[in-house]
Chain A
Amino acid sequence: MSVCDGGHCVTCSDEAVSMTVLRVDARRGLALCTDRSGVRSTVEIALVEPVTAGDELLVHAGTAIAAAAKAPRQ
């Protein structure tokens, strides 16, 4: 089957994964995010800024393409 992780390719399937923001580096336009299995990755956030920790993003090929939910405000 496909070489890709999970048996399908992120590009071909146009897959976007729901991820939660852990930490934001606003100066560099990046965020450290985690998916539902706990895997962490650095995500480009230029298309959905501003984001804060706790926000839920839809991430495709390492870039957030939409914001799903904002973290509850204190």
Chain B
Amino acid sequence: MKFVDEFRDAELGRVVAGEILAAVEPGRHYKFMEVCGGHTHSIYKYGIDDLLPANVELVHGPGCPVCVIPMGRVDDGIALAHQDGVIFTCFGDMMRVPGSDGSLLDAKAAGADVRMVYSPLDALRIAKQNPDRQVVFFAIGFETTAPSTALTLKRARAERVANFSCMCSHVTIVPPLRALLESPDLRLDGFIGPGHVSTIVGARPFEFIPADYGKPVVIAGFEPLDILHAISMILRQLATGRCEVENQYTRVVPYEGNLRALEVMAEVFELRPHFEWRGLGFISHSGLKLSDAYADLDAEQRFAVPGLRVADPKACQCGEVLKGVIKPWECKVFGTACTPERPIGTCMVSSEGACAAYYNFGRFAREREVV
């Protein structure tokens, strides 16, 4: 298959690792942020950290749309799930995110009808199969996933599925990146750009990063060679004094994005004035809600939700991890009070969260280093 096998070639990986080694300046420390949770997962799964020289450090960014859902929003979902006759559908990782009094999985165990789906089409099918029940789809994800929700809502309208509605918690990638870049305690030299978000939005939205902040961006695929190649490309930009957006994932990402996806998103969604991000606070125009034209399919208008803001747990340092200020193992509760089985913060809930990825894959490499 064209996306996978060629980009996992170990021999080629060693060649690119050699290029990286040749491109680094001795004595200079580089910090690159990978924005997307999928990149974090690949980095740990394939041991890409081990192939990099010691002075090239990868910092995990806020690319996990599950990780950043605040507790109050989870509570809203749980409240909806407990309503009579509701079938509450969501993606798998969302079920484990802790609210102020348990997760959606806990609500399911307590009798709420919460069902895991792999796509919003699955949720629509459940609605058609259960015409006497209200089916709510908890929509999460960045711009990669938002078009899927938008197309399903259009389909629900066209097929007159009146018992289907959506609780929209989609987020957009640019505002949190800008918020991170504005943080005084963040020091980065470049970004590995999100590969699949870019298939939808294209490369253009990231041009503000080199233009306004002077940092190179390379949009990368998810195979190990893609990531190594992107790191090599960033280093070459720094070495030659260039600063621009480059596209390593040209086999998939068009510069202008997917126009049909952008059109359907513009039709179905509008930007919320602000949206709360776990650990990052409120960020303007960073979340999506259904447009007025689709208000009849908006679960938050069809049902009453608490809409309360709940503070992050005091022990939780997810915000600092999400900003790349501290590493997972530097969090006071990492691996002790906070584990994948009993997560306090959402960085540990999702397998793509920085803490879970490190807990499951990275700590063994660190133990080897210490020894």
In whole Å, how far is B170's beta carbon from the nearest beta carbon of chain A? 10
Cβ contact within 8 Å between B258 and A9: no
Cβ contact within 8 Å between B261 and A42: no
Cβ contact within 8 Å between B65 and A11: yes
A2 interface hit (Cβ, 8 Å):
yes
Cβ contact within 8 Å between B261 and A10: no
A4-B92 Cα distance, complex, nearest whole Å: 5
Residue of B96, B258, B350 touching A47 (CB-CB under 8 A): B258
Cβ contact within 8 Å between B66 and A9: yes
In whole Å, how far is B26's beta carbon from the nearest beta carbon of chain A? 35
A68 interface hit (Cβ, 8 Å):
yes
Cβ contact within 8 Å between B147 and A9: no
Give the number of residues in A that approach B within 8 Å (Cβ atoms).
32
Residue of B64, B122, B194, B258 touching A12 (CB-CB under 8 A): B64
User: Which chain A residues in 1-34 approach chain B with CB under 8 Å?
Assistant: 1-5, 7-16, 18
Cβ contact within 8 Å between A44 and B152: yes
Q: Which residues of A have CB within 8 Å of B37? A: 12-14
Q: Which residues of B have CB within 8 Å of A69? A: 2
A73-B182 Cα distance, complex, nearest whole Å: 51
Q: Which residues of B have CB within 8 Å of A58? A: 3, 196, 199, 252
Cβ contact within 8 Å between A56 and B2: yes
Cβ contact within 8 Å between A16 and B1: no
A-B residue pairs in contact (CB < 8 Å), sample of 28? A1-B360, A2-B351, A3-B116, A4-B91, A4-B93, A7-B351, A8-B41, A8-B350, A9-B91, A9-B92, A9-B350, A9-B351, A11-B91, A12-B64, A12-B93, A12-B353, A14-B195, A18-B2, A44-B152, A60-B148, A61-B145, A62-B120, A63-B119, A65-B200, A65-B261, A66-B199, A66-B253, A68-B1
Number of A-B contacts (CB under 8 A): 149
Residues of A near any B CB (own CB < 8 A): 1-5, 7-16, 18, 36, 41-42, 44, 46-47, 56, 58, 60-63, 65-66, 68-69
Residue of A13, A62, A68 touching B351 (CB-CB under 8 A): A13
Residues of B near any A CB (own CB < 8 A): 1-4, 36-38, 41, 63-67, 91-96, 105, 116, 118-122, 140-142, 144-145, 147-148, 151-152, 155, 194-197, 199-200, 222, 251-253, 258, 260-261, 264, 340, 350-353, 356, 360
Q: Which residues of A have CB within 8 Å of B121? A: 42, 44, 62-63
A5-B95 Cα distance, complex, nearest whole Å: 13
Q: Which residues of A have CB within 8 Å of B261? A: 47, 65
Cβ contact within 8 Å between A62 and B38: no
A14-B65 Cα distance, complex, nearest whole Å: 9
Q: Which residues of A have CB within 8 Å of B253? A: 66
Q: Which residues of A have CB within 8 Å of B264? A: 46
Centre residue among A4, A15, A42 by max chain B CB count within 10 A: A4
A56-B148 Cα distance, complex, nearest whole Å: 18
User: Chain B residue with minimal CB distance to A67?
Assistant: B252
Q: Which residues of B have CB within 8 Å of A47? A: 147, 151, 258, 260-261
Enumerate the 9 nearest inter-chain pairs by beta-carbon distance, A residue then B residue, closest first.
A62-B119, A9-B93, A4-B92, A63-B148, A13-B38, A12-B352, A8-B351, A12-B350, A2-B351
A56-B67 Cα distance, complex, nearest whole Å: 31
User: Chain A residue with minimal CB distance to B104?
Assistant: A3
User: Chain B residue with minimal CB distance to A62?
Assistant: B119
